[in-house]
Amino acid sequence: MTATDPLGIAPAERNAIMPLTRFLPDHPFAERLYRAAEPVWEEGLGQPFLRELADGTLSRERFVFYMLQDYLYLNDYVNVHAIAFAKCDDPKIRQDLAQAIAGASNETDQVHDFFRDRFGITDEQMASARQSAFARSYTSNMIAIAYTKPLIDILVALLPCAWVYADYGTRIAASIGESIETNPYRAWIDMYGTDDFWESAVWLIDDIERLAAGEPEEHLQQLTEQFVVGVEHEYMFWASAYEMQRRWRPEWH
Ligand SMILES: Cc1ncc(C[n+]2csc(CCO)c2C)c(N)n1
């Protein structure tokens, strides 16, 4: 067992499920992105929201807060794909983007509809949900990139979402084993903790790697910084949901 793995997964096992070794040999730019984000990425998996989600003790209230924010998030996330699509003349990437739009809509159906029914989230709650400062920061940044930057920047802005979820989902599923049977958040873990789900990260990583090959170092450096900001946004999305914090200062409510 390694002290640095938040879920206590043994190094050999961890290696077998690591994104870079299992799915991504020979992706040096992806590796650079992951390495730059690694401290936040690894710490993020150990945060209370995810630990409690994994052991099934997360409060329903916190999860509902997260679900409502996530519902708003996914709409923006799909829009960013659509803007990328309009800027893209590579047929393969256009196809990938179109599939991702369908995939993200499907994700909304599967996970959100499930929990809405299961946890009794009402249509009124869905309709009146206001985006938190943290979620808005995340999506505003993605939308700004989508409108003002070239295709590769948009794909890098989309990547933390797909990659972090695929990695965390796999690792959470591996760490909890049989106890998933009684976990109230099983549908969430089942959704993200599969090899199939990796497809939503792998196409993006592959396309980014291809586009990065022609870019000057200065741009690659900017993209790397932008990726870390995205991983930080993913981190804060869960952290703010755990605190149920809607505004920048908790006392503002
Ligand atoms: C804040 C937030 N970040 C990432 C995801 C995960 N996710 C949303 S769409 C998509 C691509 C494939 O459908 C993935 C991985 C989420 N749900 N909420």
| Distance, CA of 2 to CA of 36 (rounded, Å) | 21
Q: Which of 65, 71, 75, 165 to mutate to test the pocket of ligand 1 (most atoms within 8 A of CB)?
A: 165
Residues with CB under 6 A from ligand 1: 70, 73-74, 77, 103-104, 107, 161-162, 165, 200, 234, 237
Flag whether pLDDT at 33 surpasses 90.
yes
Lowest-pLDDT range of 46-50, 119-123, 144-148? 119-123
Boundaries of every domain in the chain: 44-252
Which of 27, 20, 23 is closest to 209 using CA atoms? 27
CA of 247 to the centre of ligand 1 (A): 22
Task: Name the residue among 226, 220, 225, 251 with its Cα closest to residue 29.
Answer: 220
pLDDT tens per residue, range 89-102: 999 999 999 999 99
- Atom 13 of ligand 1 has which residue's CA nearest to it? 104
Mean pLDDT for the chain?
A: 88
Q: Cα of 77 to ligand 1 centre, how many Å?
A: 8
Is domain 44-252 annotated with CATH 2.60.40.1120?
Answer: no
Q: Percent of the chain scored above 70 by pLDDT? A: 91
Distance in Å, CA 136 to ligand 1 centroid: 15
Contact 192, 200 (CB under 8 A): no
Q: How many helices (H) and strands (E) does the chain have?
A: 13, 0
* DSSP of 174-220: HHHGGGGGG-TTHHHHHHHSSHHHHHHHHHHHHHHHHHHTTS-HHHH
ipTM over 0.90: yes
Over the stretch 149-163, which tens digit does the pLDDT of each residue have? 999 999 999 999 999
Q: What pLDDT is attached to residue 110?
A: 75
pLDDT at res. 104: 85
Closest ligand 1 atom number to CA of residue 104 = 13
Residue whose tokens read 């047929």: 91
